[in-house]
Structure 1
Amino acid sequence: MNRIEIKQMIWITLFVVMVGCSAKLKEHSKVDQPKYPLEEALVRLSNSFTIEPDSLGFPRCLEPNGEIRGVPSKDWTSGFYPGSLWLAYGVSKDAKYKELAQKWLVFSEKEKWNDRTHDMGFKINCSFGNAYKFDKKDAYKDVIIQSAKTLLTRYNETVGSLRSWDHGSWEFPVIIDNMMNLELLFLATELSGDSIYYEVALQHALTTLKNHFRKDLSSYHVVNYDTITGKVIAKETHQGFSDESSWARGQAWGLYGFTLCYRETGNVLFKKQAEKIAKFIMSNPQMPKDKIPYWDYNAPDIPNAPRDASAAAITASALYELQNYSKDGIAYTTFADAIISSLSSEKYIIEQNSKHPFILNHSTGNMPKNDEVDVPISYADYYYLEALIRKENINNNTKDKL
């Protein structure tokens, strides 16, 4: 065997060894890679099975001292925990989630008569809406329709919007959050055949589109209207840093709300608005590298300001839906993937053996009141689960209205 042949044999041997090592590394990597984030989230949600359903104990947040803050069904957040259980059932088909969710619904059904709040969508659509999606009971359908009827009592034709709050000194306040309650109205028309719910939702969205946004595409939190003329009295904030600042969760509510309005109406104005809001969020110079925003994009103490994982989760879920409708779908999916990657990391996801029902840490509820700052909050978990399910649907090329 000459020198050339010997060199060839050496290279062939090295190649075989390298291929073998590469195959072993791939196999090892496949075995050691962490569980899919959705599985991890469900493990943490299962910790809640130690909590006995209670009419005054809907899990809202985790207090700094480690205690669970429980709230009655009238609280705007009461629908998120049962809603998370229904989402878990829908994706896993594990009856334990369904059975526990049903126990909580017993305590929240009476909210279908509560006309003192605009938060009917949060309370009823997230809970009973998902219940009906995964378990087609007429009783759930009836609750949805009656809740929509009750919500319509807050509509003012002159203003062209649903009234948000009854507290405070505002004449007729409308908050950007109210866009999230429109999905309940669209669903009520679908279930009842009565177009009135659709018509009110459509007009509310158009009014919000006209009056809630600045030239830079960011949103005001509160717009106060004159009920006699329908004109705007003032544009303010209640949970943001200032009237002219961009409260992070408010931007997320707008993105999600206009995306769902496009889905339900096909009105291209709503898709364009959702795309504009997405641009504001994705290109914001104050967005941290991990894509989890500060509680307000104009917070004075950035980069030391508290983050808001809930705003990030809502944004990710909305972007996963918006990518279905837009030419910029790849960019939206990529940004949402980055959010989910961060939220699923050790920095944000709760320790697996924690004895409470929460999944994510580092959300900010109401910074101006120094309430629920940098803690786990139920609605962050709900939209994180929804985002994970939507991502799985994208991966599996499954079209789902979720």
Structure 2
Amino acid sequence: MLQIPNRFLSLLAVGMGLILIPSCDFMDKSAKTNQSVAEKKENLIFQESLGFNLEEQFQFCEEQLKKSAAGHTDYNTHPRLIESGDTHWEMPKNDVLVWTVGFYPGILWQMYDITHKEYWKEEALKRTLPLEPYKYNKEHHDIGFMMYCSYGQAYRLTGKKEYRDVLIQSAKSLITRFNPKVGTIKSWSNELHPQWKEHITIIDNMLNLELLFWASKETGDPVYRDIAVKHAETTMANHFRDDFSCYHVVEYDENTGAVRNKNTSQGYADESVWARGQAWAVYGYSMVYRETGDPKFLDFAKKVSERYIAGLPEDYIPYWDFSLTGKKGESRDASAAAIAASGLIELSSLVKTTELQKRYRAAADAILNSLASPAYSAKNVNDAFLLHSTGAKPQGNEIDVALIYADYYYLEALRRRKSLSEKS
């Protein structure tokens, strides 16, 4: 059974922006133990509230971007991470195998969208156009991250046909990795990940489906949408435990579609709950429901989101693996928090009841309040937006660092939150 974190039962945290007031039933320990999650939710009153000024946070992000843009003049590289104690981004070479190349241009496009300043459009183009050759990438599933975060933003904001053409070719490349016998897009190559012998799918792949939904709408060809839906359905069936936490990696028999193994590569253990993986699920299934309108995906988005919320510590920023929550010396993952916040804001706009709208918006606000606080903000520390992300701790990489995709989804979450405020 999912457990609502203890702080939800007694929290009056106006400063954090989330007010949760329990009924008297929660004062009874036995009642608390026996109540179902659904009953608990009925007894909670939510009030969403940001503890910071959105416009001031956009200004902060713009000032940080000015610093990083000045230092990023080799457009065949991209900002990836800032080690703890360092000031500036490490900038590895762009490469077909590097999944993070699209995030920095995507951040610049978002800043152009926020400010309408031609300067940011020009800076975004300088970093976007060198990625065009990757539209033919068939080596892995990350072409969605690489091209939709960059060229997708470019096309959304300019409407230029040449950017549309790049995206359509990217979608064509992505669907070559779909195995109809399995029902998913193959994520990783076995050459790079030899511990798995056959068809590998990771939970991260859910976000690449957005490129396919877009391609179907643009071209009128249902094949992209059909593959995206089938992938989401197969992942829903095989990637999740009974409590709606997810595995990172599922290996399938490439000829029969049978599940061979369920593993977790970037989390603590195969049966632990890797925080960023759960955040990908929150974001991914909310997006799939938005694109399909199929209620089964909305129901599933709510379930994986409840599992994510249930695992959060006191400050709403997860440990890199939920199974290590509270363990001394374990690092947090602000990137998971930013992804989940963006997904929860979208989910709040999709659910049907006012109660759930408030619930998910309040959860997102609590996360954003922490991310904007001095504990996680990179203000006066380095050139990023956020501190304290964890990329791949079991592999010894990117531990307690600034990560470019944390910044991308943080800025997206802020933009989505502003849009909600303007609609309400």
TM-score by length of 2: 0.83
Corresponding residue to 2:60 among 23, 40, 50: 40
After superposition, residues 190-339 of structure 1 pair within 5 angstroms as: 190-284=217-311, 287-299=312-324, 302-326=327-351, 327=353, 328-339=356-367
What CA deviation, in whole Å up to 9, does each residue of 1:257-297 have, x standing for no partner?
0000000011111111110011111122xx22110000001
Q: Percent identity?
A: 44
**TM-aligned CA deviation for residue 304 of structure 1:** 3.0
The code of the aligned residue for 1:205 comes to A
**What is the DSSP-based 3-state SS (H/G/I as helix, E as strand, rest coil) of the residue aligned with 2:255?**
coil
Cα deviation digits, residues 36-73 of structure 1 (max 9, x gap): 32222222122122124434421010134625222314
Q: Distance in 2 between matches of 1:55 and 1:195?
A: 36
Structure 2 CA distance for partners of 1:376 and 1:353, relative to 1, 3 Å: closer
The answer to whether the 8 Å contact 2:318/2:325 transfers is no
Higher relative contact order, structure no. (Cα contacts within 8 Å, ≥ 6 residues apart): 2
- 1:300–1:324 CA distance, 2 compared to 1 (3 A): closer
The whole-number CA distance in structure 2 between the counterparts of 1:193 and 1:54 is 38
> Which residue matches 1:394?
420
Separation in 2, partners of 1:300, 1:82: 33
Letter in structure 1 aligned against 2:108: L
The amino acid of 1:162's aligned partner reads I
Classify the secondary structure of the residue corresponding to 1:316.
helix
Shift of 1:185: 0.5
Aligned residue for 1:246, secondary structure, equals: coil
In structure 2, distance between residues paired with 1:145 and 1:34: 34
Could you say which residue in structure 1 is the equivalent of 2:126?
103
Shift of 1:390: 0.5
- Kindly indicate whether residue 397 of structure 2 is the aligned counterpart of residue 371 of structure 1: yes
2:53 & 2:72 partners in 1: Cα distance?
Answer: 35
What is the match of residue 16 of structure 1? Answer: none
* C-alpha contact (below 8 Å) 1:239/1:367 kept by paired residues: yes
TM-score w.r.t. the length of structure 1 is 0.87
Read off the aligned partner of 2:158 and give its amino acid letter.
Answer: D
SS of alignment partner, residue 224 of structure 1: strand
Q: CA deviation at 1:77?
A: 0.4
Equivalence map 1:16-35=2 (5 Å)? none
| Secondary structure at the counterpart of residue 292 of structure 1 | coil
Deviation of 1:319 (Å): 0.5
Partner of residue 26, structure 2: none
Change (3 A) 1:52 1:303: closer
| Partner-residue secondary structure (3-state), 1:115 | coil
Residue 253 (structure 1) shift? 0.3
How far apart, in 2, do the equivalents of 1:240 and 1:34 lie?
33
Q: Which one-letter code corresponds to 1:36 in the other structure? A: E
Please say if residues 73 and 107 of structure 1, whose CA atoms lie closer than 8 Å, have aligned partners that are also in contact.
Answer: no
Contact 1:57–1:69 (Cα < 8 Å) also in 2: no
Deviations 1:99-125 (A, max 9, x none): 011011121111101110100111000
Question: Of 193, 201, 204, which residue of structure 2 is paired with 1:168?
Answer: 193
- Please report the RMSD computed on the Cα atoms of aligned residues, expressed in angstroms: 1.7
Distance 1:373 1:137, change over 3 A: same
State how far apart, in whole Å, the 1-side matches of 2:83 and 2:369 are.
26
SS of the residue 1:69 aligns to = coil
Choose 77-86 or 42-51, whichever is displaced more. Answer: 42-51
CA-to-aligned-CA distance 1:341-400 (integer Å, 9 cap, x gap): 11001111112484x3x21110000010121111100000000000000110011117xx
Structure with bigger gyration radius: 1
Q: Return 5+ residue gaps in structure 2 as ranges.
A: 1-51
**Measured at CA, do residues 176 and 229 of structure 1 come closer, stay the same or move farther in structure 2, by a change above 3 Å?**
same
How has the CA–CA distance of structure 1 residues 223 and 353 changed in structure 2, closer, same or farther, with 3 Å as cutoff?
Answer: closer
AA in 1 matched with 2:376: Y
Given that 1:316 and 1:339 are in contact with CA atoms closer than 8 Å, whether structure 2 keeps it comes out as yes
AA matched with 2:346? E
In 2, Cα distance between equivalents of 1:161 and 1:395: 37
Instruction: Summarize the alignment of residues 127-146 of structure 1 with structure 2, pairs less than 5 Å apart.
Output: 127-146=150-169
The alpha-carbon deviation at position 303 of structure 1 amounts to: 4.2
| 2:324 counterpart SS class | coil
Instruction: Report if aligned partners of 1:245, 1:297 keep a CA contact under 8 Å in 2.
Output: yes
- Paired residue secondary structure (1:70): coil
Contact 1:53 1:104 in 2 (8 A): no
Counterpart CA distance in 2 for 1:65 and 1:38 is 24
**Correspondence 1:118 to 2:131:** no
The one-letter code of the counterpart of 2:385 is I
Pair 1:33–1:277, CA change in 2 (3 A): closer
Contact 2:313 2:326 in 1 (8 A): no
Question: d(CA) in 2 for partners of 1:94 and 1:200?
Answer: 38
